[in-house]
Structure 1
Amino acid sequence: MSSNNTTLFCVEKTRLSQKHSYENNLRTITLIFLQVKLVGVKLRVEARVAKLFFETPIRNIVSHIKNLLQEPVNQGVAAVLMVGGFSESLMLQEAIRNNFPSLGVIVPNEAGLVVLKGAVIFGHDTSTISERVSKYTYGVSVYDYFDPNQHPVAKKITIEGELLCKDIFSVHVHAGQTLVVGQAQTKESYLPVDSEQKNVALNIYATLNLQPKYTDDAGCQKIGTVTVPVSGRGIDREVTVKMIFGGSEIDIECMEVATGKITHGIVDFLT
C-alpha cells in the first residue's frame, strides 16, 4: 500500500508539474499574442516581443566565445572584433560588452560587408594572412612494427616476414596549432615497407581529433595522396615529408634523401 501510494503521489506530482508548465507557456503565448497586432496591412510587434527572437542566438554566441577564451591558444586575447551582418545588432553588441567587460569590442563600419571584402582582398593577395590556426589535425597513414600490447589484431599484417601494424596516423600538425603561412611545419621521415617498391604512396588524412591513433578512426578523412618515386632497393631508402600551408591549399613536400629529389603534392581545398 505504501509503495502504491508513493507511486500515485509521484504520478500526481508529475501531472501537477506538467500542468504548471502548460499554464506558464499559455500565459507567455497569451502575453505575446496581446503584443502582436495587425494594424491595417502591417503587423505591429512590441519591442520586448521582437527581442525574444534574438535571445537564444545571442546566448549561444556568448557561450561559444566563453569556451573559445578558455582554450590555451587564446590566452591573452585583448579584444573582440565583431564582423558579419548580426554584428550590427545593438542587442548583440550590448551582450558582448556586458559579458566580457575586460575585453575591447571593435565593430567596424559596415560590419556586414567586412567578410565579403576580406574574401575579395585575400583572393587578390593571399599574403594578407600571415598566420592561421589549424582547425584540423593533419597527418600521413603509415605502417609501424606490430605490438600486441598496443595494436589490435585486425590491423596486423605481414610484409617480407615482418609483422606490421597498418593505418597508423602519423601526425604532422595538431588541431589548434598556429601555422605560419608559406613555411614548412614539422619534418617527418618515412621508409618503404617493401624492398622492391619503386614508389612510396603517402595518403594524407585530416581529423578534428587532437590525438588520432589510426586513420580509420571515426572522423578521419582522406584528403589526398602523394606518390614519391624512390630509386634502388631495400627498406632503408628514407623519404622526408613536410607540410607547407598556404592560403587555400597544402603543399606536401617530399624528398628522397639519397638523391635529393623533391616531389610536391597539392591538396587544394577550393576544388
Structure 2
Amino acid sequence: MASNSQESIDTEKETETDINPENYVFVVALDFGTTYSGYAFNSRTDFNENPLKIQTNQEWKAGGVPMLSWKTPTSILLKNDGSFVAFGYEAEDKFYSEMGKGEHENLMLFRRFKMKLHNKMGISEDLKLEDIAGRKYSAKTIFTLSIKALADHFQLHLKKKTLSKIISKKDIRWILTVPAIWSDAAKRFMRRCAVDAGLPNKMLRIALEPEAASVYVQFLPIEKQGHGFAMTKTGTKYMVVDIGGGTADITVHEKIEGGQLRELHQATGGACGGTYVDIEFENRLINILGERVMKQLKEEQAQAYLDIFREFEIAKRSIKSCDTDEIRMTISYVTVNELCEKIENKTLKEAFKNVDGMKIKADKLHIDAEIMKQFYQPSIKELIKHMQTILKHPRTDGTSIILLVGGSAECGLIQDEIEKSFSSLQLVVPPEAGLAVLKGAVIFGHCPSLINSRILRFTYGNNVAEEFNPEIHNEERKITIDGVDLCTDCFSTILTAGTEVKIGHTEIKEYSPAAKIQFGALVKVFCSPKEEVKYIDDEDCFELGELFVPFQRNIIAHLISFPFSVAYSFGDTELKVRATDLATGQQTSCTLEMKEDKIAK
C-alpha cells in the first residue's frame, strides 16, 4: 500500500455524541500480526444471511503487481521525517528499489515490530522502534500509521465498489485483534493508536485472538471435517492454541447452554511463535558466515537479506516430523558470496564446507530435515510446556480437544509434536487455520455476547492506609496521623487473578475523600499476576493507572465529607470504570488513565 495509491480515511472530526455503536452497516476486523497483517469484513445483511460470508482482501501488491495472498507483511516504510510511504509488500519492494539506486538513506523500513508490546506492563509514548538499519523512531507513530494503512486499504475497496460516499467511518464497527496474553496497558496503547489513525472510539472493539478463533469454529459446518466439530456440542471443553508469528496464545473454553463460550483458564503463553524459528536459523547463519557478514547483509543489502527469510518462511512450513529429505531454498548467492570474500576472505561454499547438515549447491542452500527440525525445537518445547501446565489445572479437567490455529498452525512438524505429546486429546486444525482469528474477529464484531465469561489474568487493587498491626505490618511503613498509627501502601484487593467473571461483571468500591473541602479525588489502580498481594510495591505488582473523580458538591456535602464509589467493570476485553459521587448521586464515566499516558505528560 503506497502513499500515492491510498484513499485516506476521512479526517473530519465527528463528535462521539453523533455515533451510535449499534447502528453499524459493516464489521471490519484488522488483524495486526507480528509477521503478516490483513483485514476481513462483511455487512450486517450478509452476516444475517450467512455468518461465514466473510470477505478478505486477496490482492496485496508485490513488485508492482497483485499477488494472491490473504495477508501482507507487517512492514512499514517511512521517510526520515516520519511521513508515510508504503505498507506491506509494497513497503519492502519500494525500499529494495530505492536501495538498488542508492537513494534509500532518507527512508526507514520497520518490520515485525508488534512484539515490542509483549510483556509490557507500562508503555511510554517515548517508546522507540528500530528500523532494519538500527535507526530509532516513535513506536506510537509506527503503530498508528500501520493501522491507518490497513483501514485506508479497506476504504479504497469501498471506493472501488462505489460505496465510500454511502458508508462512513461511523457506519463501521471496527475490530482490532490483540493477543489475549497482552497487558491492559498494551491493549490501551493499541486502542489509542487506532483512534489516532481515524477510527471512532465508540465504534472500536478489541478482540482477543484465541477467542476470535474459538468463535470462528462454532460456525463451521460439521461436514468440513470428517470427524466433525465436537467443539460445537454443549459441554465440550477444548484448548485453543493460537500460534502466530510472535506469540503462542493459549486458553481453554467450554461450550455452554445457549451457544456461549466460557473461559476455563486465563490466557497464557509466551514468545514461541514462528519468528523464533527464524531467530534460530539466523543465529546458525551468524555462526557459519560471521556476525560482520550478516550485519552488513542486513544493513546494506536488505533485499538479499529479506529474500533469504522469505524463502525460509516457505521452506519451514513444509517440514514434518517424518521428513528425512533435504530442504532446498534459493539464496542471493552472488551478493552473499561477495560479502564473504570481502569480510572473511573465503567463498560462500568454503564457509559451509565443514557444516553438518547444511551446504551450498549452485544458488541453493540445502538443509537436512533434521537440522530444520532443530530450528523448531526451542519454540516447540516452550509451547508444549505451556500447554502441559494449563492441562494440570483442575478447571481444565475433561478437556478433550486441542484447536490449533494461527499462521504457524499448518506446519506439519508442530502438529506432529503436539499429537505426540498429547496423544489422548484430539487435534483439530480447521480449514484456513491462518485466517481463523481474522474471520472469527468479524463474527465476534457482530455478536460479542458469544463470550459468556473470562478468567482474570491479574489481581486488581488500590493503595490504602490500614490501621497499623505490628503482627502483620512492616514497622518501616508505619506513619501516625491525628494520633492514629497507620500502615501505608497496603494493597486493597478489588478482584483476584484466576477469578471467573461474567461479561460486564461489576465490582463497586467506596472511598472517602482525604479532606473535607476538595473538588475531586485521585484513585490509583494496581495489578499483579499473583493471587495474594500485600503491598503495592511487592514484586511483580505495578501501577496500572489512575482515574480522577470530579466532585460537584455544595458546601454542606463538602463538610460532611461524603464518600464516593467507583464501579469497575470486568470481564470484557478491556477494563472500564464509572464513578458515583454519593453526596449528589451524580455518575460520571471516568477514564482510567494508564501508567504510560501519565508518563508521557
Q: Which of the five TM-score ranges fits, normalised by the shorter chain?
A: 0.7 to 0.9
User: Could you report, residue by residue, the CA deviation over 1:155-197 in whole angstroms, capped at 9, with x for unpaired residues?
Assistant: 223334432222221111222222322231x333333344444
Conservation of the 8 A alpha-carbon contact between 2:545 and 2:593: no
Cα deviation, residue 203, structure 1: 0.8
Distance change (3 Å), C-alpha of 1:74 and 1:197: farther
Matched, 1:267 2:592: yes
The TM-score, its normalising length taken from structure 1, stands at 0.74
CA distance, structure 1, for counterparts of residue 444 and residue 482 of structure 2: 50
CA distance, structure 2, for counterparts of residue 208 and residue 126 of structure 1: 26
CA distance, structure 2, for counterparts of residue 97 and residue 188 of structure 1: 47
Match of 1:57 in 2: 379
Match of 2:526 in 1: 205
Match of 2:34 in 1: none
Match of 1:172 in 2: 494
Match of 1:12 in 2: none
* Higher normalized contact order (CA 8 Å, seq sep 6+, divided by chain length): 2
Kindly report which structure 2 residues correspond to 1:86-97, keeping only aligned pairs within 5 A, or say none. 86-97=408-419
Cα deviation, residue 119, structure 1: 4.5
Match of 1:233 in 2: 559
The worse-fitting range, judged by mean Cα deviation, of 32-41 and 57-66 is 32-41
Cα deviation, residue 200, structure 1: 3.2
CA distance, structure 2, for counterparts of residue 59 and residue 167 of structure 1: 40
The TM-score, its normalising length taken from structure 2, stands at 0.36
Match of 1:191 in 2: 512
Task: Give the gaps of 5 or more residues in structure 1.
Answer: 1-29
CA distance, structure 1, for counterparts of residue 393 and residue 590 of structure 2: 33
Local SS of the residue matching 1:142: strand
Distance change (3 Å), C-alpha of 1:91 and 1:149: same
CA distance, structure 1, for counterparts of residue 412 and residue 587 of structure 2: 55
Match of 1:9 in 2: none
CA distance, structure 1, for counterparts of residue 420 and residue 435 of structure 2: 25
CA distance, structure 1, for counterparts of residue 384 and residue 403 of structure 2: 14
Matched, 1:147 2:469: yes
User: Could you report, residue by residue, the CA deviation over 1:207-256 in whole angstroms, capped at 9, with x for unpaired residues?
Assistant: 22221111122322222222333633346x33333310364432223333
User: Could you report, residue by residue, the CA deviation over 1:94-149 in whole angstroms, capped at 9, with x for unpaired residues?
Assistant: 22222222322221222223234445555676545443222211112222212222
Cα deviation, residue 88, structure 1: 1.3
Distance change (3 Å), C-alpha of 1:209 and 1:156: same
CA distance, structure 2, for counterparts of residue 114 and residue 57 of structure 1: 22
Distance change (3 Å), C-alpha of 1:153 and 1:90: same
CA distance, structure 2, for counterparts of residue 34 and residue 205 of structure 1: 52
Cα deviation, residue 62, structure 1: 0.9
- Max radius of gyration: which structure? 1
CA distance, structure 1, for counterparts of residue 523 and residue 358 of structure 2: 62
Local SS of the residue matching 1:86: coil
Conservation of the 8 A alpha-carbon contact between 2:454 and 2:571: no
Conservation of the 8 A alpha-carbon contact between 1:137 and 1:207: yes
Conservation of the 8 A alpha-carbon contact between 1:249 and 1:267: no
Match of 1:182 in 2: 504
CA distance, structure 1, for counterparts of residue 574 and residue 525 of structure 2: 13
Conservation of the 8 A alpha-carbon contact between 1:249 and 1:268: no
Conservation of the 8 A alpha-carbon contact between 1:225 and 1:265: no
Conservation of the 8 A alpha-carbon contact between 2:547 and 2:593: no
Kindly report which structure 2 residues correspond to 1:103-114, keeping only aligned pairs within 5 A, or say none. 103-114=425-436
Local SS of the residue matching 1:249: coil
Compute the RMSD of aligned alpha carbons.
3.0
CA distance, structure 1, for counterparts of residue 360 and residue 450 of structure 2: 51
Match of 1:19 in 2: none
CA distance, structure 2, for counterparts of residue 177 and residue 220 of structure 1: 18
Distance change (3 Å), C-alpha of 1:71 and 1:268: farther
Local SS of the residue matching 1:147: coil
Conservation of the 8 A alpha-carbon contact between 2:405 and 2:434: yes
Match of 2:393 in 1: 71
Match of 2:138 in 1: none
CA distance, structure 2, for counterparts of residue 95 and residue 147 of structure 1: 54
Conservation of the 8 A alpha-carbon contact between 1:159 and 1:194: no
Local SS of the residue matching 1:233: helix
Q: Specify the code of the residue in structure 1 equivalent to 2:407.
A: G
